[in-house]
Chains A and B, each alone.
Chain A
Amino acid sequence: MKTLGRILIILVAFSIFAGLMVFAVNASGANDPGFNGAPQFRLGGGDGVRTEGDGNRPERGGGGAGGSRWIFDLIKNVAVIAVLVAIIAWPKSIAKKRRKQIRIK
């Protein structure tokens, strides 16, 4: 029962933020086809409703699925995380070791 209540709290928080985002995007007019910077392509029929499998959706990174590009993208993503870990966790661990050494002395 406790767990169900907690799940409900998480879902309510998710719904509140999702609702706020939808409201903000619609209120800003960024979702209108005439909005400056809107993509120049249209999907499916002219009724403005997306249908299954009609996707001319360009994939992230220009859609170039060819060759080993995905390996490069994967390495790039892991590298971003690794760099952040190295920048933050490494100095922290060195400082911790120094503190320990000082305490021993």
Chain B
Amino acid sequence: MPNEGSKNTVGQTKIKLWVDVLIFIVFLIAMEPHTSGLAIHEWLTLSVMAAMIVHLLLSWDWITEITSRFLGKLGTQNRINYILNWLLFIDGTLIMISGILISEVAIPALGVKLPLGFAWRRLHDMSANIFLVLLGLHTALHWGWVVTTFNKYLVQPIMKLASAKQKKDASL
């Protein structure tokens, strides 16, 4: 997130990168329940809530800073980002709550019996499709961070490792 990286330590940025990659992959799997199966779909999405909380905790400084400055002077991109993040949170909540209410595997396995809800199924599908678009916008607005962080913590270390191996091979 813009203006956020300076406050984060290297460790936090690394954790955030991998948490974000995990959330992204889980979301892609969760979007296709007929491929993964309902049990994996439900348990995976329930457990990714923890990853979402970690994601929010790692962005906490940015969230509090922008919340306090939202009505005052604030750059357009930060303002758009902030609104988009709230929309993601609200839509994510709708996906989770509708998913819990139409659950056929995870929630009954916990011994909870819920009444039938006819609207929740359609709301679940609709909110998942909206989430896909919001996630695309979220990724697009943070594309600079994604490229820089991937380059710093994945591409460069691999390149260094490869060049070190080449040097070692050449010296033999």
Contacts and interface: CB of A to CB of B under 8 A. Distances in A.
Contact of A65 (B35, B96, B109): B35
B53 A7 contact: yes
Interface in B85-102: 89-90, 93-94, 96-98, 101-102
Interface in B72-96: 89-90, 93-94, 96
A30 B113 contact: no
Contacts of A43: 116
A17 B141 CA distance: 25
Assign chain A's interface to a size class: 35 or more
Interface in A1-39: 3, 6-7, 10, 13-14, 17-18, 21-22, 25, 28, 30-33, 35, 38-39
B133 A61 contact: no
B1 interface: no
Contact of A70 (B34, B115, B125): B34
Contact of B114 (A3, A50, A73, A92): A50
Contacts of A50: 104, 108, 113-116
Contact of A87 (B32, B98, B120, B140): B140
A73 B115 contact: no
Interface in B10-42: 28, 31-35, 38
B135 interface: yes
Nearest to B111: A52
Contacts of A48: 115-116
Contacts of A85: 136, 139-140, 143
B56 interface: yes
A49 interface: yes
B57 interface: yes
B118 to A, nearest CB: 4
B105 interface: yes
A21 B35 CA distance: 29
Interface in B104-132: 104-105, 108-109, 113-121, 123, 125, 128, 132
Interface of A: 3, 6-7, 10, 13-14, 17-18, 21-22, 25, 28, 30-33, 35, 38-39, 42-43, 48-55, 57, 59-61, 63-65, 70, 73-74, 77-78, 80-85, 87-89, 92-93
Interface of B: 28, 31-35, 38, 53, 56-57, 60, 89-90, 93-94, 96-98, 101-102, 104-105, 108-109, 113-121, 123, 125, 128, 132-133, 135-137, 139-141, 143-144
